[in-house]
Amino acid sequence: MSRITAHRLTEMKRAGEKIVVLTAYDATFSALCNSNGVDVILVGDSLGNVILGYDSTVPVTMTDMLHHTRAVARGNRDALVIGDLPYMSYGTLEQTLSNSAALMQAGAHMVKLEGGAWLADYVRALTERGIPVCAHLGLTPQSVDALGGYKVQGRDAESAAKIIADAKSLEAAGARLLVVECVPSTLGKQLSDALSIPVIGIGAGVDTDGQVLVLHDMLGLGEKRPKFVKDFLTGEAGGIGAAIAAYGKAVRERKFPTKDHSFS
């Protein structure tokens, strides 16, 4: 498989090919993702919960993100690697440019930011400087305190319209990809239909252009399993690699997520 690029992801959307995304935080899992057909590896600030034992992503630092991005990059061969900008690492344009450059130098091919239309100028500045951007809307874990907890977003017409408007603003500013988290399935489909860039869902229904899960959740390793997660490892005779391949197959064949893993 030739290396996946942002351009290739757009081609996949146009062709109706589902995009398979998983998080990974080290070289071993990065290599396993590569050998089992994962298109995109997200070095997520979810490592704060999964690897470092924090209650949220808020304590994660740039030092943490750079350390894990380098590890993933060393294990990667073909996948597109996205590096998360952690909490308050993009509070100013200067911070955004400096920290995004550091993530790219650590081995990321794209950076991810959480937030709406207020980020458009930052996205535009990064794009103009050759740094591809993935936007993140819906449930944005860095803002969980402001949101009042881990709640489904966009359930009423007004908030759904705002998410769509934010998404269009970020696309117009140059974002190459959008992650949308914990929104009703109908809104996930609306976003995918409204945007020319790929929309990757997590708890956003089967009609987005691709799916992402936290690797450890997908392997059934977490103590708590969110509604949108399926354990692909239990009962899988081939072990972790086969579980990753089974996840990819289910995404590509539109067998995951089901209604049981989605929100109305």
What's the pLDDT tens digit per position in 129-144? Answer: 999 999 999 999 888 7
Contacts of 41 (CB under 8 A, 6+ apart): 21, 22, 23, 24, 30, 33, 72, 76, 79, 80, 81, 82
Task: Report the relative pairing of strands 40-43 and 19-23 from DSSP bridges.
Answer: parallel
pLDDT at residue 37 tops 80: yes
Would you place residue 235 in the very low, low, confident or very high pLDDT band (cuts 50, 70, 90)? confident
Number of structural domains in the chain? 1
261 and 39 Cβ atoms separated by less than 8 Å: no
Q: Residue 138: what residue type?
A: G
Let me know if 3 is exposed, middle or buried by CB neighbors in 10 A (0-12, 13-18, 19+). Answer: exposed
Which pair of structure tokens corresponds to residue 133? 């951007």
Domain residues for 77?
6-261
Measured between alpha carbons, how far is 41 from 23 in angstroms, rounded to an integer?
5
Per-residue pLDDT band at 1 (split at 50, 70, 90) = low
* Helix (H/G/I), strand (E/B), else coil: 47: helix
* Domain assignment of residue 1, yes or no: no
- Residue 238 has phi, psi (to 5 degrees) of -85, 5
C-alpha dihedral sign at 101, 164, 201, 12: negative
The CATH code of the domain that includes 10 is 3.20.20.60
pTM of the predicted model as reported, rounded to 2 decimal places: 0.96
Evaluate whether 109 touches 151 at the Cβ level (below 8 Å): no
Residue bearing tokens 């995109």: 40
Question: For residue 150, is pLDDT > 80?
Answer: no
Residue found by looking up tokens 């239990």 in the block: 234
Helix (H, G, I), strand (E, B) or coil at 18: coil
Looking at residues 58-72, what average pLDDT do you find? 98
Q: Is residue 80 part of a domain?
A: yes
What's the token pair of residue 29?
């899992």
Q: Which of 67, 78, 77, 82 is nearest to 23 (CA)?
A: 82
| pLDDT value at residue 155 | 94
- Inside any domain, residue 47: yes
Catalytic residues: 181
Is 234 a member of any domain?
yes
| CA of residue 21 relative to chain centroid, distance | 7
